[in-house]
């Protein structure tokens, strides 16, 4: 696609860090790229700050697999995968020994086994990984008061204005890496940049066990030769859409004029182009207001039996409700999500999500209420084919402390439900989530070992069925990004995967 450069005053010289582009291209299985075209000069919000913005992105290397190799000497030096070996098993994490064979997270286990017949599969231990994560995040907190956790194994740290106290950012990063290694025996890769996206790409380029800093005046040359998939939030679908429009590199995107971009890929492309030029105004957020809570699972085999589906719905609804209550929230919208068993199109997203939602007259944190409404949605869906995945979500969140009728004025049934939920929560907090459940609940296998920090869930507790490994399909895996596809396949709302709980 021919584009008129948005700015014609500056030409980028050959990138002195061409190895970064080569490495990311390799990771994304991309072909060689052309030399970057003219791109606009990088400018960020920090240009107008008292102190230049400095963001550090810390990402643990092959976190799950590295923990297993640390604790089990017999696994060291071997190609190890944490995940499920079943027919729908998916790789949750792969050691670097396994990656040499092309094994990657989110890959179907049968394909990983084909690439590496000697692959060692290990069942996950979510409680162990969560404890390690908590210890690592405590170290992160030593280096910045503003830490934004993206998942159990990665976080942004805001170092803006800390140089006088802490020293140069690169020195801070080196000390952080040393502290993590000494405390946990694990490696962490770190990227430093003036904006979040640059820091995240830099940490990916520095792996394994590396450190890469991109200075403010190096951003343009650093980003220009990278493939379009390097932008945080652009996955397989979005990347193919951009390539079909003629955009191969971030430099091409950043240089293209707005109107041409809008005609080619819509407003979404304009936003991506800004990121491609390093224009990322997102700040490190130590806390973000939640937008939704959800739970889902992929079945070991396709399911059409109504009783099984309803039992699974109840299990997910109770889990979502418990998390809402722990966070003192209620939800006004109930969402039912499923994936049909029949593949619609080739590729990892071949099983498109379907969903239904209903808005309640009164917000709730009661699992029975969530389940009842979700079952109504299931009945309205009139499923004619088996499903491979079932999930329940809650949206339209509001504080439980919001003005409402006194509990003493509430109907007897509502007061009884409130008392029952309080008792259930006390038992779960003391003995674990699996200690007590309804007789009609199903034993829903979880979609996998989620890397996400799930709101309302105690990090040090065992997650039900997580020891079964990652059973799912690539579209349900940790690398799936619901923001990637601007034209989502769900019928009424965008899908909320378990691993992308907002």
Quote the pLDDT of residue 298. 85
Name 335's bridge partners.
Answer: 357, 393
pLDDT at 444 over 80: no
How far apart CA 431 and CA 436 sit, in angstroms, is: 9
Mean pLDDT value of segment 45-50: 56
| Neighbouring-strand partners of residue 331 | 364, 397
Top-confidence residue, 87 or 245: 245
Residue 363 confidence (pLDDT) above 80: yes
Q: What pLDDT, on the 0 to 100 scale, is given for residue 289? A: 81
**In terms of pLDDT, which residue wins out, 92 or 31?**
92
Residue 24 has pLDDT above 70, yes or no: no
Q: Report pLDDT digits (tens) over 166-205.
A: 999 999 999 999 999 999 999 999 999 999 999 999 999 9
Q: How confident is the model at residue 338 (pLDDT cuts 50, 70, 90)?
A: very high
Give the model's pLDDT for residue 428: 72
| Averaged pLDDT, 1-11 | 49
Ranges assigned E (strand) in 165-254: 188-193, 211-213
Strand partners, 471: 89
What is residue 197's predicted lDDT score, i.e. its pLDDT?
A: 94
CATH 3.40.30.10 fits 63-127, yes or no: no
pLDDT at 15: 46
Cβ-proximal residues to 137 (8 Å cutoff; 6+ apart), any chain: 147, 149, 155
Distance between CA atoms of residues 201 and 223, nearest Å = 9
3-state secondary structure 1-58: CCCCECCCCCCCCCCCCHHHHHHHHHHCCCCCCCCCCCCCCCCCHHHHCCCCCCEEEE
CATH superfamily of 293-500: DNA polymerase, Y-family, little finger domain (3.30.1490.100)
pLDDT over threshold 60, residue 494: no
CATH of the domain spanning 1-45+215-288: 1.10.150.20
Find the catalytic residue in 97, 132, 154, 373. 154
Mean of the pLDDT values across residues 411-420?
Answer: 75
What pLDDT score does 310 carry? 94
Give the pLDDT band (50/70/90) at residue 235.
confident
Percent of the chain with pLDDT over 70: 73
pLDDT at site 49: 57
Q: Are 328 and 400 in contact (CB under 8 A)?
A: yes
- Catalytic status, residue 48: no
pLDDT in tens, 71-122: 999 999 999 999 888 777 889 999 999 999 999 988 889 899 999 999 999 9
Band of the pLDDT at 26, cuts 50, 70, 90?
low
Q: The pTM is what?
A: 0.74
Domain ranges of the chain: 1-45+215-288, 63-127, 293-500
Most confident of 27-31, 272-276, 441-445: 272-276
């Amino acid at each position: 696609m021919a584009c008129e450069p948005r700015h014609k005053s500056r030409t980028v010289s050959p990138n002195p860090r061409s190895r970064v582009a080569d490495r990311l291209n390799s990771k994304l299985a991309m072909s060689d790229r052309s030399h970057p075209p003219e791109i606009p000069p990088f400018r960020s919000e920090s240009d107008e700050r008292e102190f230049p913005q400095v963001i550090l992105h810390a990402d643990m290397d092959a976190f799950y697999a590295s923990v297993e190799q640390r604790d089990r000497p017999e696994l060291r030096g071997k190609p190890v995968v944490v995940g499920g070996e079943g027919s729908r098993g998916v790789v949750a994490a792969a050691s670097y020994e396994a990656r040499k064979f092309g094994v990657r997270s989110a890959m179907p286990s049968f394909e990983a086994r084909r690439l590496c017949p000697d692959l060692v599969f290990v069942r996950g231990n979510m409680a162990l990984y969560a404890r390690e994560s908590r210890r690592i995040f405590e170290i992160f907190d030593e280096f910045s008061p503003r830490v934004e956790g993206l998942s159990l194994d990665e976080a942004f740290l805001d170092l803006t204005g800390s140089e006088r106290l802490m020293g140069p950012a690169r020195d801070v990063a080196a000390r952080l890496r040393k502290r993590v290694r000494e405390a946990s025996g694990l490696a962490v890769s770190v990227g430093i940049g003036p904006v979040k996206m640059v820091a995240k790409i830099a940490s990916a380029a520095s792996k394994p066990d590396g450190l890469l800093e991109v200075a403010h005046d190096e951003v343009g040359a650093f980003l220009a030769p990278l493939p379009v998939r390097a932008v945080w939030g652009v996955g397989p679908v979005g990347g193919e859409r951009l390539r079909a429009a003629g955009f191969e590199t971030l430099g091409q995107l950043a240089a293209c004029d707005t109107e041409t971009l809008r005609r080619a890929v819509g407003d979404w492309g304009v936003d991506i182009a800004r990121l491609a030029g390093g224009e990322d105004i997102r700040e490190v957020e130590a806390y973000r207001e939640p937008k939704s809570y959800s739970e889902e699972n992929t079945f070991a085999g396709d399911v059409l039996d109504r009783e099984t589906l309803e039992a699974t719905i109840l299990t997910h609804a109770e889990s979502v409700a418990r998390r809402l209550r722990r966070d003192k929230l209620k939800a006004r919208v109930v969402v039912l999500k499923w994936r049909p068993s029949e593949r619609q199109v080739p590729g990892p997203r071949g099983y498109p999500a379907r969903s239904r939602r209903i808005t309640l007259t009164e917000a709730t944190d009661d699992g029975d209420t969530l389940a009842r409404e979700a079952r109504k949605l299931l009945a309205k869906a009139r499923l004619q084919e088996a499903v491979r995945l079932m999930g329940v979500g809650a949206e339209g969140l509001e504080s439980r402390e919001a003005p409402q009728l006194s509990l003493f004025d509430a109907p007897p049934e509502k007061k009884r439900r409130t008392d029952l939920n309080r008792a259930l929560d006390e038992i779960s907090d003391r003995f674990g989530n699996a200690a007590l459940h309804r007789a009609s609940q199903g034993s829903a296998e979880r979609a996998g070992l989620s890397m996400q920090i799930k709101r309302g869930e105690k990090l040090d507790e065992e997650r039900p069925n997580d020891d079964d490994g990652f059973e799912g399909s690539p579209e349900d895996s940790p690398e799936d990004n619901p923001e990637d596809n601007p034209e989502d396949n769900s019928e009424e709302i965008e899908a909320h995967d378990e691993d992308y709980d907002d």
